[in-house]
Structure 1
Amino acid sequence: MNHNTPNAPLSPLPHTGVDRFREAVGYARSETMLTGLAALSLHRFASAPPPGMIDRVDVLVPRTRRLRSTGQVRVVRATEWPQPVEIDGLPVAPVPRALADAVSALSDAGVVRRLLTEAVSGGHCEPGAVVRELNRARLLTRPHVVDAVDALLAEGRSIAEERLYEMVREFGLPDPLWNVDLRLPGGPHLGGLDAYWPDQAVAVELDTRAPRQEDDALWSEYTRKREHLERLGITVVHITPRKLREAMDQQATVVRTALMAASDRQPAAYVVVLPR
C-alpha cells in the first residue's frame, strides 16, 4: 500500500484495541497524532470508549497535508500544531485539543458533559485550557456544549475551593472568613472574595475565569475591583487553580507573607463583611 497517495485505501483494522490506533497513525505516517475519542481513551478517560470499541479513529494532521478520511479514519486538520504526548508508543494530542475534536463530532449532551467534567475532576487539565480549545474550534455556539462548559466551570471552581481550604489547613495559616462580600458602610458593594482575614486586611481571590468572547470585559471588571480594594488598604492575593494544584506551598508562602506584612502597612479602611 502506498501511504503517500492521498486516497490510499486503509486495510481492515485489527480488532485488538490499541493496534487499531497504530494502523490509523500508520495511514497518515509522518506529522500526525491521535486525537478525539481515541486520544481520550489513551489518556485513560473513564467516560471515553475503550480502544476496541472505537470504530472511527481521529488523526490530527497539518492543514496542508493532502490526505482524505476513509471509512475507519477521520482526518482532522490543524492550523495550530499542538505538542503531542507519547502514550503506549503512540503520538497523542494533549487533552484540551483531543476534547475539542471529540466534541465537534458528538451531539449527545450527556456524553459531552461527562467528557468535559472528567477532564477537570480527573486532573487532566484546567477548565481554561478546555474552553480555549472549544472557542478556537467555534463550538461555543452549540447549546449542549455551552451547557457542558457551565458544568465544567462549576466543577473547576469547586475543586479549586477545596484546594484553597486544604492549603490553609495543611500549611497552618490562620482561619479566614470564607466566601464573603465586602461593602463600604452605607456605601456600594465592593465585591466577593473567596477568603478574607479582616484583622490583617488580606484577601484571596480565585481566578476561575475562562476565556470567552467577553473575557476582556470580565478582566476589566476584576481589575477594577482589585484596584478599588487596594486603594482601601486591602491586600488582594490572586491565585489560579493551576497554581494551587502545582505549587500549593508557594501560594501558602505568598499568603503568609501578606499576613505578616500587615503590621507594616497603614490601617485599612473600615469595611462591612457579609456572607456570600
Structure 2
Amino acid sequence: MNHDTPLSPLTPRPLAQLSAERHRVLTAAQLRAHGVGPAEANEQCRPGGPWQQILPGVFLLHPGPPTSEERLHAVLMYATREPAPGVPVQPATGPGGGGRRPVPAYPEAMVTGLAALNLHGFTSAPPLLSLDHVDVLVPRLRRLRTTGCARIVRTAELPTPVQRTGLPVAPVPRALADAVAQLTDAVAVRRLLTEAVRGGHCEPGAVVRELNRAKLLGRPHVVDAVDSLLAEGRAIAEDRLYRMVREHGLPEPLWNVDLRLPGGPHLGGLDAYWPEQAVAVELDTRAPRQGDPQDEDALWEEYALKREHLERLGISVVHITPRKLRDAMEQQAAVVRTALMASGDREPAAYVVVLPR
C-alpha cells in the first residue's frame, strides 16, 4: 500500500505507517478506527513524543510545527462533523487539489476571513503561517468554542463554499466581511476591499451587502474604505462600458450626461445617451449604505422610478450591472445594439435638454 492510498475507517493501519503518511492530521475518531485508542494517542503525544494534539480531538502525527496545509485541515476537522463510516478522509494533494486522493467532505464548516482570502489569491492577505488564528465558519447552533489556532465564526445561514486547494472556502464577499470584522487597521481594510474589486474577485455591491449584514458599516474606518471601494468599482465599470462601445462597434454616445425637460425638472443622470435613437445606458452600481437594510430597496425604487419616467417620455433605458459587463460584455453590447435598431419602430421621444454631468 503506497502513500496515495486513502485512509478510511475500514482500513486499519499500524502506527508506524500512520506516522509515515504524507498528510498526518487525524481526528481521535479516525485514530480509533485504526485501532489507536485514547490512552495510546495520549502516550504518543507525551513531551518529546512523536505526535502532538494540535486541537481538541485532532492530532498531528509528527513532532514539528504544522504546515499551513496541515493547520487548515486541522481547523476544519475540529469544526466539522465526523464523516460517515467508509468515507475517505485524506485531503487531495497538489496546488489545485487535483491529486489522486479524494477531496474530504467537511460538512457545515469552511475557511473564512484572512485565511480564506489568502486561498482566493489575495496578495494583500497575510501568509497563512503568519496568522495567529484560522477563521472557520460554522452554523450558529454548533457547540464549538474558539481554541488554539481555530477561531469559530458563527452564521445563521452558511453560504455555498468555493473549493480552493481541495478545501471548502467562504466566497470572497463573506470572507472579506469576516476578515474586516477582526481588523482595526484602516489601511489594511482599504487594501483588501480595493484588491477585491481591482482583482476582479467580486463586485462592490456584493461586498457592501455582506458588510451591511455583518453590521460593519457603522465603523468609521470601514465607511471610509467603502467609499473608496465604490469609487473604484464605479471607475472600473465605466471603463468597461467605454470598451464595450468601442470593441463591439456601437455608435459613439454622449457620455455622462444629465437630462432635463425644457424649462422643467431634472430627469436624472445617465452614463451613455444616443440622442438620435433616444436610447440610454445606466450602470446599476447601487449598494446599501449606513447599515440600513431598507437602503437597497430604496435605491432600487429610485432607479425604477427614473426609468419609468424616461420611458414614458419615449426614451429606452438599458440597465447594465458591472458584473454583466465583466462576465458577458458581448451579450450586453447586443442588448444595446437591439435597442438602437428598434428605435425606428417607436414613436418619437419627447424633446429633452442634454447637459454634461
Q: TM-score, normalised by structure 1?
A: 0.94
Higher relative contact order (CA 8 A, sep 6+): 1
> In structure 2, the residue corresponding to 1:118 is in which secondary structure?
helix
Whether contact under 8 Å (1:62, 1:79) holds in the other structure is yes
1:224 aligns with 2:272: no
4+ residue runs of structure 1 moved beyond 4 angstroms? 1-4, 9-13
Whole-angstrom distance in 2 between the partners of 1:194 and 1:92: 36
Whether contact under 8 Å (1:41, 1:51) holds in the other structure is yes
1:166, distance to aligned residue in structure 2 (A): 0.8
Query: What count of residue pairs does the alignment treat as equivalent?
Result: 274
1:91 aligns with 2:168: yes
**What is the aligned counterpart of 2:337 among 256, 262, 265?**
256
**What is the aligned counterpart of 1:197 among 274, 286, 300?**
274
Whether contact under 8 Å (1:180, 1:194) holds in the other structure is yes
Whole-angstrom distance in 2 between the partners of 1:174 and 1:46: 39
RMSD: 1.8
1:26 aligns with 2:77: yes
Whole-angstrom distance in 1 between the partners of 2:218 and 2:28: 40
Whether contact under 8 Å (1:18, 1:52) holds in the other structure is no
1:165, distance to aligned residue in structure 2 (A): 0.6
Q: After the TM superposition, which residues 31-110 of structure 1 pair with which residues of structure 2 at under 5 Å, given as runs?
A: 31-110=108-187
Whole-angstrom distance in 1 between the partners of 2:288 and 2:221: 18
Whole-angstrom distance in 1 between the partners of 2:283 and 2:69: 40
1:260, distance to aligned residue in structure 2 (A): 0.6
Return 5+ residue gaps in structure 2 as ranges.
Answer: 1-26, 31-54, 82-107
1:8 aligns with 2:56: yes
**52-61 vs 41-50, which deviates more?**
52-61
Is the radius of gyration larger for structure 1 or structure 2? 2
Whether contact under 8 Å (1:3, 1:28) holds in the other structure is no
**What is the aligned counterpart of 1:234 among 301, 305, 315?**
315
Whole-angstrom distance in 2 between the partners of 1:56 and 1:242: 33
Deviations 1:39-74 (A, max 9, x none): 000001011011122121101111111111013111
> In structure 1, the residue corresponding to 2:280 is in which secondary structure?
strand
**Structure with the higher fraction of residues in helix conformation:** 1
1:216, distance to aligned residue in structure 2 (A): 2.4
Task: Give the AA of the match of 1:108.
Answer: D
Whether contact under 8 Å (1:40, 1:95) holds in the other structure is yes
Whole-angstrom distance in 1 between the partners of 2:263 and 2:252: 27
Whether contact under 8 Å (1:3, 1:27) holds in the other structure is no
Task: Give the AA of the match of 1:231.
Answer: R
Task: Give the AA of the match of 2:304.
Answer: T
1:142, distance to aligned residue in structure 2 (A): 0.9
**What is the aligned counterpart of 2:236 among 134, 154, 159?**
159
> In structure 2, the residue corresponding to 1:14 is in which secondary structure?
coil
